[in-house]
Amino acid sequence: MSNSTISVEYKTQKKYCPCCYQKLVNAEVSKVRTMELDKESALSWAPWKEIAEYPEDMESLVPDYVYETISFFAADSHEKIIIEESEIEKVRSWILTHVVAQFEDLAK
């Protein structure tokens, strides 16, 4: 993994049957899956430099970014995405140290 990407581990759980759309009871949780997030997609999702100035915004927007990106690229609409808080923290730290920091490097 380079500084331009980060791997996020997650699991999925089917919420509804894809055939009959009935809610599943006792649905199985998948094995751990991994998705790579990159700086380019992070920068296209939000203006992180401005958001980083407000910790409460980072607190809500980083999980939104991770869930929406995985939902769009790696899960289907019948799946619930399960991500450990430690994975969200890892992405938050990566955004601050590698995505936002690139703007500070450019300003030097």
pLDDT for 74 equals 92
Q: How many CB atoms lie within 10 A of CB 42?
A: 23
Task: Tell me which residue range forms the domain holding 100.
Answer: 5-10+34-76+84-107
pLDDT for 78 equals 81
Q: What's the total number of domains in the chain? A: 1
DSSP the chain: --TTEEEEEEEEEE-B-TTT-PBPSSPPBPPPEEEEEEHHHHHHH--HHHHTT-HHHHHHHHHHHHHHHHHHHH--TTEEEE--HHHHHHHHHHIIIIIIHHHHHHH-
Mean of the pLDDT values across residues 27-41? 94
Does residue 62 lie within any of the structural domains?
yes
pLDDT for 20 equals 87
Does residue 91 lie within any of the structural domains?
yes
pLDDT tens by residue, 47-102: 999 999 999 999 999 999 999 999 999 998 888 999 999 999 999 999 999 999 87
